[in-house]
Structure 1
Amino acid sequence: MSENLWRSSVRNLEPYIPGEAAKEAEEQSKLNEIIRLATNENPLGPSPKAVEAMQKAVLEAHYYPDLTCLELRNKLGSLHGIDPENYVVANGADNIINLVIASYVNSGDEVVYCTPTFSEYNKNTLLVGGIPVEVPTTKDHKFDLEAILDAINERTKLVIICNPNNPTGTIVDGEELRKFFKRLPKHVIAVLDEAYGEFITLDHYLTGVEYIKEGFPVITIRTFSKLYGLAGMRVGYAMANEELIRPLQMVREPFACNRVAHAGAVAALDDVEYKEKVLLGNKLEMEKMITVFRSLGYKVEETHTNFLFIDMKQDTSKLAKDLFSKGLIIRPCSAWGYPTYARISIGTAKQNDKLIKALEEVSSQTPHHI
């Protein structure tokens, strides 16, 4: 009976299913330790300065947070060279995606993006009555900019480019992206989801910050969940020119970023030394893991993130269960249509060594085919 009262668009939605939480996994098994390599979290945790700031902020939890996160917007303005008024801070990047789509998409409007990618583009488009237009990625798992342009029509409102893409870890060529923006029709807004943007190490590679400064109609999305290790705090932000950012400021719910999270994000930006430590550790362990995976006969895609997209030449749903029995969680990619692929986060050296040992044990018992 109650389903008859639902908003009609809700019936078309599928709930977001994240990687299995470590604590939940511990409760379901007899293992004392679960190593979680499925959700691309920072294995080193947040900066000690961020932890200290959050602990202090807890003592003021009886006060409402700053409505617009002014201190954080000022820090971001200094970091990126974009006016602090041209930011919106909210409850994680997924909340920002919701705000962008709710701000611009009317019933019947189309939102174009490539797949496989982050499922929240589809979900939030459907929720507001929009039409998701999904274009396959290229053979090398990159967003197909030409195919996106071909899919644009008079009903298109947004194009979303996840760069680096989740779950593939790939990026598009920077100059090709600039040409793409120049070819967009005037009625179409580009959204750059750069949740993993800080992990790109290519020299002179342009990000959304530069495109905004050049005057392109781009809304760029970032998060503190990945590099800065604040996934549990939920802090994301969007930046764009004044005209594009204004509707997000109007749609955004009051106090969309809590006091503790805000304090942690501000302190995290100040700890540049810790950020460089995280990036270096990710780079070194990434190189090690790529070498090991290839030695095991797996195909590892080029990546610019803190995770690997790997063809493991077998049913990764079964492999994930085998690894879980050894206390390790990885993300099978069958939900994206890649039954032999897995997305595996880069952990600490100790965590990665345990994964390697477990994979060697499993590989010795299982042929690499389905």
Structure 2
Amino acid sequence: MSENLWRSHVRDLDPYIPGQAAEEAKKQEKVTDIIRLATNENQLGPSPKAIEAMVKAIQEAHFYPDLTCLELRIKLGELHGVDPENYVVANGADNIINLAIASYVNPGDEVVYCTPTFSEYHKNTLLMGGVPVEIPTTKDHKFDLKAMLEAITEKTKVVIVCNPNNPTGTIVDEEDLRAFFSRLPKHVVAVLDEAYGEFITQENYPTGVEYIKEGLPVITIRTFSKLYGLAGMRVGYAMASQELIQPLQRVREPFACNRVAHAGAVGALEDTEHKHKTLAENKREMEKLVKEFRSLGYEVEASHTNFLFVDMKKETGSIAEELASRGLIIRPCAAWGYPTYARISIGTASQNDKLVKALQEINAKAPHHI
């Protein structure tokens, strides 16, 4: 009876399914030491300066936060060279995705993107009564920009490019991306999801900041969940021209970023040492894991993120279960249509060593599968 009262579009939605939580794994697997390599968190944790700022902010938790996160927007403006008025800060990048789609998509409007990718594009498009137009990625698991352009119709309102892409870790060619944005019809808004943008190692690779400064019609999305280690605090932001950012500023709910999270994000930006330490360790450990995975017979995509997209050459559900029993959590990719792949976050050196040792032992029990 109650379901009949739901708004019709809600029936079409599937709940978001994250990587297995450590608390759940402890209960199910009856292990106390959990290493979660499924959700691409920064295993070094937040910056000490961010922690200090958050502890101080807790003392003022009885006050509402700054409505527009002015201090953080000023810091972001200094970082990117984009006017503080051209930002929106909210409750994580997924909230920003919701704001972007809610700002532009009417019932019947089309939203074009590639799959596999972040599932929230599909969910939020349906929530607004829009029509998801899903294009397969290329054979090398990159967004197929040519096919996306060809899919644009008069009904298309938004195109989304996840770059680097989640779960594949791939990036598109910079000239192809610039040409893609330049060729968009005037009635189409581009959303560039760069949740992992800070991890791109390709030299002189332009990001959304450069495209915005060039005057291209792009809304760029970033997050403090990955590089800055604030996944539990939920801080994301969008930047764009004043023309494109205005509707997000109107749609954004009041106090969308809490006082403690805001303080942590400001503190994180002030600690460049922690940022560089994270990037250096991620690069070093990724190179090590790629070598180890390939020695196990796995295929590994080149990644520009803090995770790897790994073809383990057999159904990954059973491998994930075996690893979970040992306190190691990875993300099988069957839900994205890749049953032999797993998305594996880059951990610390000791965490990665434990993962490799466990996989070696699992492989030794069934060598004919590799």
User: In structure 2, the residue corresponding to 1:4 is in which secondary structure?
Assistant: helix
Code of the aligned partner of 1:195:
A
Deviation at residue 30 of structure 1 after TM alignment:
1.8
Partner of 2:65: 65
Partner of 1:337: 337
User: What percent of counterpart residues are identical?
Assistant: 78
Deviation at residue 29 of structure 1 after TM alignment:
2.5
Distance 2:23 2:42 in 1: 17
Partner of 2:286: 286
Partner of 2:264: 264
Partner of 1:173: 173
Partner of 2:10: 10
Deviation at residue 201 of structure 1 after TM alignment:
1.2
The answer to whether the Cα contact below 8 Å between 2:29 and 2:324 also exists between their aligned partners in 1 is no
Partner of 1:105: 105
The answer to whether the Cα contact below 8 Å between 1:33 and 1:327 also exists between their aligned partners in 2 is yes
From the superposition, tell whether residues 150 and 281 of structure 1 become closer, same or farther in structure 2 (CA, over 3 Å).
Answer: same
Deviation at residue 354 of structure 1 after TM alignment:
0.3
Code of the aligned partner of 1:171:
I
Cα RMSD after superposing both structures: 0.8
Code of the aligned partner of 2:253:
E
Distance 2:74 2:182 in 1: 30
Normalising by structure 2, report the TM-score. Answer: 0.99
Please show how residues 96-245 of structure 1 align to structure 2 within 5 Å: 96-245=96-245
Distance 1:29 1:137 in 2: 35
Partner of 2:299: 299
Partner of 2:79: 79
Where has structure 1 moved over 3 Å in runs of 4 or more?
367-370
Distance 1:283 1:23 in 2: 29
Deviation string, structure 1 residues 130-156 (Cα, Å, up to 9, x no partner) = 000000000000000000001000000
Code of the aligned partner of 2:256:
A
Deviation at residue 369 of structure 1 after TM alignment:
4.0
Deviation at residue 171 of structure 1 after TM alignment:
0.2
Partner of 1:40: 40
> What is the number of equivalent residue pairs in this alignment?
370
The answer to whether the Cα contact below 8 Å between 2:310 and 2:343 also exists between their aligned partners in 1 is yes
Please show how residues 18-33 of structure 1 align to structure 2 within 5 Å: 18-33=18-33
From the superposition, tell whether residues 368 and 215 of structure 1 become closer, same or farther in structure 2 (CA, over 3 Å).
Answer: farther
Distance 2:279 2:206 in 1: 18
Normalising by structure 1, report the TM-score. Answer: 0.99
Code of the aligned partner of 1:180:
F
Distance 2:64 2:182 in 1: 43
The answer to whether the Cα contact below 8 Å between 1:72 and 1:265 also exists between their aligned partners in 2 is yes
Partner of 1:325: 325
Code of the aligned partner of 1:2:
S
Larger deviation: 218-227 or 16-25? 16-25
Partner of 2:358: 358
From the superposition, tell whether residues 160 and 324 of structure 1 become closer, same or farther in structure 2 (CA, over 3 Å).
Answer: same
Code of the aligned partner of 2:63:
Y
Code of the aligned partner of 2:94:
D
Deviation at residue 186 of structure 1 after TM alignment:
0.8
Distance 1:368 1:181 in 2: 47
User: In structure 1, the residue corresponding to 2:198 is in which secondary structure?
Assistant: helix
